[in-house]
Each structure stands twice: as C-alpha cells, then as structure tokens.
Chains A and B, each alone.
Chain A
C-alpha cells in the first residue's frame, strides 16, 4: 500500500464548475500538507500549504485537512480552462524531515 493514495483521473469538468480533488494517506506522522499544480513538461508549482488539520483559503482555492480521517482535499471554485493541469497532493513529517511524499497526481481538464 502506498503512503499516499490519489485518483489519477482524468477528471473533466465544464468551465465554472467547482472541482474537488482529494487524497488519503496512511502515515499518521505526516503534519504538513501541500497541493502542487503541474503543467505538462513543467516542474510542480506550490498552490497551497497547510499544517495539521483545518481549512485554508486562497482566492479560488480551498484546502482542507482532516487528520482524524487521514484525508485531504483541494477545492477549486469557478474553474477556468487555465486550471487544466495535473494536481499533486504532497505531505511531509515534522521534526526537521525534509522528504516530501507525493501522490500520483490527478489530471484535470476544464472544458470551455
């Protein structure tokens, strides 16, 4: 079993839709949770960063972490064609460890 599970999709939605992306994980030591966006043939770009449980909002993006269920989500409101990319969840332990464990990525297509 992988430490981080993520549905690879693809996920197709119409422009303006609310997109919900999620990941589950098995390692209870994970304390920092991130979402990255990766366009084709580019490096990942950090979208959201949260520590422990709770919600964080940044513009059209909302990240949620539920540590009791080992479940994290990313919501994208008013999705745009430019949001079409692969979205990677990622997480790491506390205590000075720098290794980040990524999910497989969900490919999203927003159709105009």
Chain B
C-alpha cells in the first residue's frame, strides 16, 4: 500500500492555458473521487468514479472540466481555458469501502 499519489504536486499556468492532473489510487480501490479545496475552505466534491464509470458530478464541474478513468485505475482531471478562479488545491481520494484515502493534492496557481 503506497497510498494515493498525485502528479504534479504544484502547477503554475497562465490564464487560458489547459492543464491536466493525474491521480493514481491505492491499488484494488475501485472508487475514486476528485475534490477542490481553496484556502480556508473545506474540500468541495467534484466527481466520483466507480471503476471506469463516472457516477456523480457536482455542478461545480463546469464544461471546462473533464475527468476520466479509462481503465478503472488512474484518473486524469483536465481544466481547459483556465481562469484565475480555478486556483486551488485539487485533491484525489480513493476507497474500497467507506473510508476515503486522500492524496497530497495538486496545487494549481493560475496567473
């Protein structure tokens, strides 16, 4: 059990650019979640996968956001045409039961 890993840990991009983040869940965890956390706030749910199926999506996940989990293992979160308001920590979590194990997050800064 190596834990949930996320890459990159920190991304700085210019407004209007596209960015993609990767999450590798704990092996054998069939559930994977994405959250966004801004400074001084709790994590906000974005989306949830069970295996490769995306089963829940938050209204926070605008058309510029897309998440995939093509083979039911790792997942990617892409943000197109980034805006300054997208600056946040993007957290990934995985689970097999009720306990969600979080990764260290990817901190996005949009300049």
Query: Given the complex, which residues of B lie within 8 Å of A8, measured CB to CB?
Result: 40
Say whether A75 faces chain B, with CB atoms less than 8 Å apart.
no
Interface-centre pick from A32, A90, A99 (highest chain B CB count, 10 A): A99
CB distance from A43 to the nearest CB of B (A): 3
How many Å lie between the Cα of A97 and that of B31 in the bound state? 12
Say whether B16 faces chain A, with CB atoms less than 8 Å apart.
no
Say whether B43 faces chain A, with CB atoms less than 8 Å apart.
yes
Q: B42's contact among A32, A88, A97, A99, by CB below 8 Å, is which? A: A88
Q: B100's contact among A4, A6, A100, by CB below 8 Å, is which? A: A100
**Tally of B interface residues using CB under 8 Å:** 24
Tell me whether A103 and B42 are in contact (CB under 8 A): yes
Tell me whether A43 and B56 are in contact (CB under 8 A): no
Tell me whether A42 and B104 are in contact (CB under 8 A): yes
Size bracket of the A interface: 20 to 34
Chain B's closest residue to A2 (CB) is B42
Query: Given the complex, which residues of A lie within 8 Å of B105, measured CB to CB?
Result: 41-43
The 0/1 profile, CB within 8 Å of A marked 1, for residues 38-62 of chain B is: 0011111100101000011010000
Contact residues, B55-95 vs A (CB, 8 A) = 55-56, 58, 91, 93
Query: Given the complex, which residues of B lie within 8 Å of A32, measured CB to CB?
Result: 98
Say whether B99 faces chain A, with CB atoms less than 8 Å apart.
yes
Say whether B4 faces chain A, with CB atoms less than 8 Å apart.
yes
16 A-B residue pairings within 8 Å (CB atoms): A41-B104, A43-B4, A43-B91, A43-B102, A44-B43, A45-B102, A46-B101, A49-B99, A88-B43, A90-B42, A97-B56, A99-B48, A99-B56, A101-B45, A103-B42, A104-B41
